[in-house]
Chains A and B, each alone.
Chain A
């Protein structure tokens, strides 16, 4: 069991390897100074990329184009189905096409502020810098972004910004960006530079002589365990939101790859920074297997309200205007319905907790399009959000053109992840982590339309340089199949599978996953406090122990076995959940999505404690059931002025 009182803090702070110089020159200067691998030598290097989402596909395709020998692994049957496909709303870039005052510096500033000052300035600046090239690249690939009648690209606005900088492809932006990257990846598969491994799960990381040099995988069709060795390993395996059981993530999204890397020595940063998205369809009962996001872009035209009187059960159209409480518009006149996600979510929780909830289970708030339909006409709204409205109708059986949508917050995105330096390399040499899987540029809260930007920035424009720099200096790896670390990892994987199949208890994996999810949601969710977190820290190891005593995993290892796949993932969530709670307990300040009830302003906003918590928490594994060691990366702000975020 992890114990808050036993936490040891490493004396030396982490080195983020941020280059010297003014912020706007760092990346250019660094690119010039980094070492290169000559075209003729590239094919001698084998690079393992795990993940085919925006981050993994863009990285694997770009590295293939450059001439490296790339292996790309993913658990779906096709790279095109990676979870990035589900992103709806859009992708940010600092193009300033609207001439409304946007700039690289403003995108950088908004992102640092939106993240409540818990991200690394230099990384965020670079992200804003490369954002424009992403749009160029995607358009050239044939991504059909929305356009104006004059033929130029259209934009919309998103929460946390006062400029219109979001590019979109109807409500399917993630799908279209992913298809662009997927097609680039297929081109490389055709060219023979990238080899694809569908329906293949990474189950362990191999470190030899202090350097990441391989992975152990399971073929999900045949059950065969296989080891792949390479000169570097790139993890692009997405976020761990599914630890909460109910989330907007795809059912297969998992933490196994990054969790195994953590247990092999990679530091896990800010695990408690979990974003709860304000606009999802509320759960409808016990059968619920996942939650569906209604894109945040809806907040551009929809107005959020609840009945002013608690316990008012009248249908929405019978509640007169003056008895409706447009709580975001009233509390935050300048941002209104477009406040950042954490603020919108907490306010929804507050009104529902106070008895204003709507719907049969009283577990939602209204998102109303009546005014927008009156102002713009049904056709315009249909053009903007048609597919989202259809999706809402098919799930709830209600028609949002006629009656307001019901929404409620749900777990959506994880800002935490494996710690990486400026070069996107973890503390383990040769292990790179990109996309949602790293602890990212979003601090304690991610702004809408910035995850797609980050995934593609990492994969197309940053990793190809920094990985080359690493390979040029480290040279080829020295891994051999006969090495004891290889055997060790293989044995570990085999052993875990055998154990899962042999418990032969009474309860299903799903049962334990639900139970873990409930503890995390109730005590490590939208609002956290000392008592609740201590309870979670006690309860999670208990559930874990019950899991290993009483889980039933049917079927065999030498076959397609979905129960076994899930069991392995849930076993990891049961460990990760505990670290999540520990991190949340340790950080007694509130910041962004991490809201400690003990630390709030008079108005109920998240109150940071910059003096004591202006750092990244990076946890080092010290053994099963042991309290991990804490490493800190101090956050220094030279360009952004720290202030209490205000969206009033």
Chain B
């Protein structure tokens, strides 16, 4: 099949960047979206031009590295029958022959563009550093079955833990808020008995770190949940907010 591509090209963080048009022919409907970009890049290299830089690694929808805005939708996931996918899992059979496809990087103040479609998401790591863990050093753990955890809580914790840190939630949000990302980690650890001790400090520290990184506030538009390839629920934002209120009542830092 044939495609008309409009791709964001930007040399580096300082460069203003802009769209460049490409026509691509011979795309197999069975190929993935990233394989389509591979094909384009092979053609660009053959013509002596610089290929389009984009982040990717596992190509299985789990590492969270790929991060493409496709026709204004994070991961282009509105096309697949199973909507919760990442760009690497999107397949070309869901595109029309001759279609125009616009490809952009995530847009958010806290995610500056590094080159072309690649952005800097290190803000997420710094938020985790502020408290997204249980402080247990190697060797000091009790026997694993010493503390039973109800299946319901364990399942909820797993639902929240499924986040792949791709940043689609931020990219989808009109305020570029990171509440879903932070909410998921806060919620995961709050459902588990092991997470109770640091519960209140954790939520306060992580929310402060999030604000310091320049993410926007949450106005409940729900765009993040709709864009999440792992179905992370808005309930976790509610859970985080209630944790935060409790923390403040308790006079947590």
Contact = CB atoms under 8 A, between A and B. Distances in A.
B239 to A, nearest CB: 15
Interface residues on A, range: 35 or more
A563 B158 CA distance: 37
A189 B129 CA distance: 7
Given A146-B154, A394-B82, A85 B91 contact: no
B60 A391 contact: yes
Given A221-B114, A287-B28, A141 B161 contact: no
Interface in A366-417: 390-391, 393-395, 397
Interface stretch (A4-12, A469-477, A554-562): A554-562
A256 interface: no
B39 A142 contact: no
B224 to A, nearest CB: 19
A76 B65 contact: yes
Interface stretch (A167-175, A441-449, A480-488, A600-608): A167-175
Contact of B64 (A80, A83, A186, A292): A80
B151 A141 contact: no
A139 B145 CA distance: 9
Contacts of A137: 136, 138-139, 141
Nearest to B92: A287
B129 A554 contact: no
B157 A142 contact: yes
B192 interface: yes
Interface stretch (B100-108, B115-123, B168-176, B245-253): B115-123
A86 B60 CA distance: 8
B53 interface: yes
Contacts of B48: 552, 554
Interface in B43-68: 44-46, 48-51, 53, 55-65
A170 B151 CA distance: 13
B183 interface: no
Contacts of A139: 141, 144, 147, 194
A141 B136 contact: yes
B133 interface: yes
Nearest to B56: A251
B55 to A, nearest CB: 7
Given A136-B144, A147-B151, A183-B132, A391 B61 contact: yes
A334 interface: no
B142 A136 contact: yes
A176 B185 CA distance: 12
Contacts of B63: 76, 81, 83, 85-86, 250
A408 to B, nearest CB: 15
B14 interface: no
Nearest to B27: A287
A145 interface: yes
B124 interface: yes
Contacts of A288: 31, 35
A140 B161 CA distance: 15
A252 interface: yes
A200 interface: no
A563 B57 CA distance: 14
B193 to A, nearest CB: 10
B134 to A, nearest CB: 5
A186 B143 CA distance: 24
Nearest to B51: A563
A461 B141 CA distance: 12
B2 interface: no
A113 to B, nearest CB: 26
Contacts of B53: 560, 562
A36 B175 CA distance: 52
Contact of A187 (B36, B91, B129, B147): B129
A176 B129 contact: no
Contact of A393 (B60, B82, B128): B82
Interface in A422-463: 460-461
B188 to A, nearest CB: 7
B228 to A, nearest CB: 14
Contacts of A179: 161
A140 B35 contact: no
Given A86-B63, A250-B59, A78 B122 contact: yes
A42 B23 CA distance: 58
A322 to B, nearest CB: 33
Contacts of A78: 64, 121-122, 124-125, 165
B149 interface: yes
Nearest to B80: A394
B241 interface: no
A447 B214 CA distance: 46
A140 B133 CA distance: 10
A560 B138 contact: no
A625 interface: no
Interface string A540-579: 0000000000001011000110110000000000000000
22 contacts: A78-B125, A80-B64, A86-B60, A135-B144, A140-B134, A141-B133, A144-B188, A146-B158, A147-B149, A151-B151, A186-B125, A189-B129, A252-B57, A285-B30, A287-B38, A397-B91, A397-B93, A460-B139, A461-B138, A464-B138, A552-B45, A563-B45
Given A183-B132, A394-B82, 17 more contacts: A80-B165, A81-B58, A83-B58, A85-B63, A86-B60, A86-B62, A140-B141, A142-B189, A176-B161, A184-B138, A186-B129, A190-B129, A250-B57, A287-B30, A391-B60, A506-B46, A554-B51
Interface of A: 58, 61-62, 65, 76-81, 83, 85-86, 95, 97, 132-133, 135-142, 144-153, 169-170, 172, 175-176, 179, 182-184, 186-187, 189-190, 196, 198, 221, 250-252, 284-290, 292-293, 390-391, 393-395, 397, 460-461, 464, 506, 508, 510, 552, 554-555, 559-560, 562-563
